[in-house]
Structure 1
Amino acid sequence: MQSVAKIRLADALVKIMEKEGIKYIFGHPGEQILPVYQALRKSSIKHVLMRHEQSAAHAADGYARASLQPSVCIASGGPGALNMTMGVATAYKDSVPLLIITGDVSSNLKGENVFQNIDVNAVFKPITLQSHLIDDPDQGIEIIKKTFQSLKTGKTGPIHLNIPRDILQKEINPSLLDESVEINIKTHWKDINQVKRLLRKSEKPLLLVGAGVLWSHAAGDVKSFAEQHQIPVATTYPARGVIRENHPLSLGLLGTRGTQRANYAGKNSDLILAIGCRLSERTQKGLGNAPIIQVNLDKTVLKGNINIQADVKEFMEKISPTSTKNTEKWLHELQSYNKVHKIRTNYDKTPLKPQMAIKEILDGIGSSILVNDAGSHTTWITLLMEVSEPSSLIFSGGFGPMGYGIPAAIGVSLARPDKNVVVVVGDGGFQMTSQEMATICELGLPIMICLINNQSLGIIRQWQELYYGGAFQVKLENPDFVKLATAYHLKAKMVDSPSEVLAAVENGLKLNKPLLIEIKVDKNEDIPLPK
């Protein structure tokens, strides 16, 4: 009887990823992960060489948010793995399904204080849903398969696999690849009839929608339910666009930075149906005392009066036939409470106001996907942008790291080649991951970077001036950004006057090539702070 040729765990890992439909892996090679890179040479999966491991995680994060599918990033052991932690923590705070693969020193050297050895799993444990050290190749296959099932059907978030180099090179029987595995997804439906009773009685219901609706692919279900029962919809930040924000039932963002109408509804509703959100402290600022029905697969975030631990899509299917009261009076009340804080954006003098620059960017990008970094520009985008599609505004709201925008845009562009991708980033955040312009150019991605240059860490300066006795260590002596971008082979230009931004953005999109537009703005302009 002919024996079956065995394969290395590294090759088996790549074969499983191929079977799971992984198209791209974002990473940076290093000594301890090289067996996987050897396997990738023969694979249909494309490796995207990022210039820093933090950026690899951010790019995978952007790919996942834009495609609404799990994504993969990879790094070596020690320094490579630890460089990745910022991006992993970002995904963890926003419940983004990532597979993080790190190599490690050989298993016989673990804990021996050898070169680059550190307890990587201890570092990753608090910023992932699961962090596994694979020390047996046969068991490793089962763990890898269960990981993909969890990423696709369980509560969303990053899962980490740490695999020593010698284990990656050990052989397994390929028949293990065909064996099925099962995971136990806990659900809790016992209060569903009470939910239906409350819905039937409610005269002022409110749907509060979070990103879990996107990950469960239930945006269409939520919209249909809202339209069928004429229930208004407010969203958390990452769910903006689940229902277009100019829809008659849309109230926009709720909570800190939320619209006045959404926050009025949150405080005056008699029943809040919180779907796929975690009710963060920022969201709760827009809520009153109405009973909350919260639906989420993640038991740890459930804090409503009635909690349903379940998949959002399944929940929507169960409650959709429920009869509800006429909400015409409630909708009219909300329509009459349409107080909008007008933000002046029309100025004809220099220095250019940042809010005018942002307004011109938004007017010029059309149906592009906008990827937002962290900084004072974020406030202007939040206040001025009307989001019309799910996943068309990509931003790390839970952790908010500077430097997210450019690498995340790489993942977004690869996930959605049918869309233009525009990054808005401040001069501080830009310089944290500007090296990824090399990746953008190498791949020829038509990403437009709109760099808002106010020569400082603007929002920190504002806080210092308000509460800490004046600005300190926030002024930025910036390089010539146009020359820097040109050195990376991007087309680049600088604008600093009203009306120039709109023309630059519209013309830039027509190029369909990597582009940087530096926009010099008033360094003394403050953002409106939340009340």
Structure 2
Amino acid sequence: MPPSRTGAEILVDGLLANGLATGFGVPGESYLAVLEAMRARNFDFVICRQEGGASMMADASAKLSGKPGLCFVTRGPGAANAMSGVHVAAQDSTPLLLFVGQIERGFRHREAFQEMDYRAVFGSVAKWVVEIDDAARIPELLSRAIRTATQGRPGPVVIALPEDMLVERADVFDAPAVTPAETWPGLSDMAQLQKLLWAAERPIAIVGGGRWSEGAAARLARFADRFALPVAVTFRRQMLFPAHHSSYVGDLGIAPNPKLVERVKTADLVLLIGGRLSEIPAQAYTLLDVPSPRQTLVHVHADAEELGRVYQPALAIHASPNAFAAALEGVQPSASLGWAAATEEAHGDYLAWSETVPAHPGAVQMAEVLAAFAKLPADAIVTNGAGNYSSWFHRFHRVTRYGTQAAPTSGSMGYGLPAAIAARRLYPDREIVALAGDGCFLMTGQELATAVQHRLPLVVLVFDNGQYGTIRMHQERAYPERPFGTALQNPDFAAYARAFGAEGFSVTQAGEFGPAFASARACGRPAVVHVRLDPEAITPTMTISDLRAQARAAGR
């Protein structure tokens, strides 16, 4: 006979049966029964301070572990706050399950307290939205939710849980644990790919997207080595290919190496694996013509709907990156790799582009910051949100291992600290460093309390230039010398950290960052290093004065 359990107990047991034992959230009266079931089963529930931070933690957990991230929030305002992380998961192809408390079933359509139509609100962002009306159907619908979140192109699923359904009892067994299906390329696909590679003169591979693993990344690196094939990564996907590999040619993010951009434009074969080549990596859709690329395009993706959605490929391969990387072991190089010298040159161009950090206005120099940063162990996990500060690290910090990066390709501010908390919860023995701008940090800065409460040592570097720097940059290009709405009056972030019970360090002069960073890393507690930068130092290649001069020259 199946056991008799409440809906909440069936839900938590189902998660545990799938190896999903950690969740992030803000408690609410709409799902008290779930909290009780978690307590009784020693479920690892990370208590957060705002639902946006909790949903970003769940997203980062999924990015770093490959398993669906779990977020629990209450109805109405809680669900609305969590939308930020759901949007990140949608654009970043991250498997995420958002569990939302809901009003009692008998109160629907009366605009009851915090009532919301979750299908309408999340329907355009999530892969699937479901409201579970019957406790007996939880095993069925939870299994479907996990499959939907993880198969094809991964993404978020929203599951609404009526309050009275959670205390309803049902006699059901747990469903078997879900193993996401891998879509394998056909033999004819791989044979055609081999023919295209043999015929190519200027090929390049571009990797991105989700559904990767450490093993898949390693197999791709071996393939690139055998073929001397140049490999670029898409925006904030540096961990998919080691920077020290002789085939690595850089990332297609914001302000990439112009030589890399030219190589993609003049390639005769582009092998796009896992990614979609969306607006930022495609440099505003200029690298490949839409819909018919100039280059011969081979597009490999786990979701058939993404093949030909924007670019019409010469060869569309419906396969997950894991399966495709395994199939690459059988693809053989031709006797002569005529592009090998060009690959060596392209790798050299990457090294030159990422070697020397330019000086900029101000006492504190990013060269000093990056020199200290380079001393981190190779398995340290680095997280960041959005902002111009991140461009220094994307260009000059060399990522060499899979699973050491978590950042939003959606450009969501506030991601760095929540992601660092998730990383520390997953990997208690690894160093975790979050990067944030002053505007970025205060989007989710209250989650320092989460780090302190759960005793999660991590370091947050807050780069303070007193402005929303990215927006100021665009403003100076479009409306030079007319800044408006972008200046910030900031707190003392070191004192802010100490108020939460964390450590705080201030860096205002040359030579101070290295010792402050070393102390933060060694303190054994959450720590914030407040780095004051000159507002003129807007990017690695531009100051505000440079932007204004360009705008004047363009007649703006």
Same topology, TM > 0.5? yes
- Partner residue in 2 for 1:130: 128
Letter in 1 for 2:302: L
- Partner residue in 2 for 1:229: 227
Where 1:464 maps in the other structure, the secondary structure is helix
Offset from partner CA, 1:335-360 (integer Å, 9 cap, x none): 3354444786465984324x335424
- Offset of residue 156 of structure 1: 1.1
- Partner residue in 2 for 1:401: 412
Alignment partner of 1:312 out of 313, 321, 325: 321
- How do 1:184-263 residues align onto structure 2 when only pairs under 5 Å count? 189=186, 191-212=189-210, 214=212, 218-254=216-252, 256-263=254-261
Letter in 1 for 2:124: P
Whole-angstrom CA distance in 1 between matches of 2:466 and 2:110: 47
Report whether the alignment pairs 1:69 with 2:67.
Answer: yes
Where 1:390 maps in the other structure, the secondary structure is coil
- Partner residue in 1 for 2:297: 292
- Offset of residue 109 of structure 1: 1.3
Letter in 1 for 2:436: V
Where 2:67 maps in the other structure, the secondary structure is coil
Whole-angstrom CA distance in 1 between matches of 2:92 and 2:360: 39
Alignment partner of 2:169 out of 171, 181, 187: 171
Alignment partner of 2:450 out of 432, 439, 442: 439
Letter in 2 for 1:394: A
CA contact 2:183–2:320 (8 Å) conserved in 1: no
Whole-angstrom CA distance in 2 between matches of 1:376 and 1:221: 33
- Offset of residue 443 of structure 1: 1.2
Offset from partner CA, 1:251-282 (integer Å, 9 cap, x none): 12136433345334322332221111111122
- Partner residue in 2 for 1:507: 519
Whole-angstrom CA distance in 2 between matches of 1:198 and 1:144: 43
Report whether the alignment pairs 1:8 with 2:13.
Answer: no
Whole-angstrom CA distance in 1 between matches of 2:237 and 2:337: 25
Where 1:283 maps in the other structure, the secondary structure is coil
Whole-angstrom CA distance in 1 between matches of 2:182 and 2:64: 25
CA contact 1:376–1:458 (8 Å) conserved in 2: yes
- Partner residue in 2 for 1:351: 363
- Offset of residue 178 of structure 1: 4.6
- Offset of residue 12 of structure 1: 0.5
CA contact 2:182–2:322 (8 Å) conserved in 1: no
CA contact 2:23–2:58 (8 Å) conserved in 1: yes
- Offset of residue 182 of structure 1: 9.5
Letter in 2 for 1:392: T
Greater displacement, 198-207 / 123-132: 198-207
Whole-angstrom CA distance in 1 between matches of 2:12 and 2:3: 17
CA contact 1:261–1:334 (8 Å) conserved in 2: no
Offset from partner CA, 1:351-386 (integer Å, 9 cap, x none): 324x33542452343432111121110111122111
- How do 1:382-397 residues align onto structure 2 when only pairs under 5 Å count? 382-397=394-409
Whole-angstrom CA distance in 2 between matches of 1:25 and 1:412: 13
- Partner residue in 2 for 1:419: 430
- Offset of residue 194 of structure 1: 2.9
Report whether the alignment pairs 1:143 with 2:154.
Answer: no
CA contact 1:363–1:502 (8 Å) conserved in 2: no
- Offset of residue 5 of structure 1: 4.8
- Partner residue in 1 for 2:503: 491
Offset from partner CA, 1:180-204 (integer Å, 9 cap, x none): 8899887785755433432333333
Greater displacement, 311-320 / 487-496: 311-320
- Partner residue in 2 for 1:471: 483
Whole-angstrom CA distance in 2 between matches of 1:102 and 1:313: 32
Offset from partner CA, 1:373-413 (integer Å, 9 cap, x none): 2111011112211111123222101x211111111110011
Q: Call closer, same or farther: CA 1:64–1:348 in 2, change over 3 Å.
A: closer
- Normalized against structure 1, the TM-score is what? 0.92
Letter in 2 for 1:29: P
Letter in 2 for 1:145: S
- Offset of residue 283 of structure 1: 2.2
Q: Call closer, same or farther: CA 1:104–1:216 in 2, change over 3 Å.
A: farther
Where 1:126 maps in the other structure, the secondary structure is coil
Percent identity among equivalent residues? 27
- Offset of residue 102 of structure 1: 0.7
Q: Call closer, same or farther: CA 1:77–1:505 in 2, change over 3 Å.
A: same
Offset from partner CA, 1:130-180 (integer Å, 9 cap, x none): 1111122223320101222344444311111112111222222133x1568
Whole-angstrom CA distance in 1 between matches of 2:71 and 2:415: 15
Where 1:284 maps in the other structure, the secondary structure is coil
Q: Call closer, same or farther: CA 1:342–1:307 in 2, change over 3 Å.
A: closer
Greater displacement, 160-169 / 256-265: 256-265
Q: How many residues align?
A: 526
Where 1:166 maps in the other structure, the secondary structure is helix
- Offset of residue 101 of structure 1: 0.7
Report whether the alignment pairs 1:81 with 2:79.
Answer: yes
Whole-angstrom CA distance in 2 between matches of 1:491 and 1:88: 31
Whole-angstrom CA distance in 1 between matches of 2:523 and 2:385: 23
Whole-angstrom CA distance in 2 between matches of 1:458 and 1:255: 17
Whole-angstrom CA distance in 1 between matches of 2:244 and 2:336: 19
Q: Call closer, same or farther: CA 1:327–1:30 in 2, change over 3 Å.
A: farther
CA contact 1:347–1:498 (8 Å) conserved in 2: no
Whole-angstrom CA distance in 2 between matches of 1:261 and 1:503: 36
- Partner residue in 2 for 1:113: 111
Offset from partner CA, 1:17-64 (integer Å, 9 cap, x none): 111112211011112111111111111321000000001101111111
Offset from partner CA, 1:76-115 (integer Å, 9 cap, x none): 1111111100111011110111111111001111221111
Whole-angstrom CA distance in 2 between matches of 1:77 and 1:216: 37
Q: Call closer, same or farther: CA 1:60–1:359 in 2, change over 3 Å.
A: same
Whole-angstrom CA distance in 1 between matches of 2:214 and 2:356: 38
Whole-angstrom CA distance in 2 between matches of 1:267 and 1:319: 25
Offset from partner CA, 1:412-431 (integer Å, 9 cap, x none): 11112221111111111111
CA contact 1:348–1:498 (8 Å) conserved in 2: no
Report whether the alignment pairs 1:525 with 2:537.
Answer: yes
Whole-angstrom CA distance in 2 between matches of 1:312 and 1:68: 13
Greater displacement, 313-322 / 368-377: 313-322
Letter in 1 for 2:67: Q
- Partner residue in 2 for 1:459: 470
Letter in 2 for 1:310: A
Whole-angstrom CA distance in 1 between matches of 2:162 and 2:204: 50
Whole-angstrom CA distance in 2 between matches of 1:29 and 1:121: 22
CA contact 1:207–1:272 (8 Å) conserved in 2: yes
Where 2:109 maps in the other structure, the secondary structure is coil
Whole-angstrom CA distance in 2 between matches of 1:199 and 1:380: 34
CA contact 2:214–2:403 (8 Å) conserved in 1: no
Where 1:279 maps in the other structure, the secondary structure is coil
Whole-angstrom CA distance in 2 between matches of 1:107 and 1:30: 17
Whole-angstrom CA distance in 1 between matches of 2:157 and 2:503: 38
Alignment partner of 1:449 out of 451, 455, 460: 460
Where 2:443 maps in the other structure, the secondary structure is coil
Whole-angstrom CA distance in 1 between matches of 2:194 and 2:451: 50
Greater displacement, 279-288 / 122-131: 279-288
CA contact 1:375–1:426 (8 Å) conserved in 2: yes
The CA RMSD measured in Å over matched residues stands at 2.6
Where 2:116 maps in the other structure, the secondary structure is coil
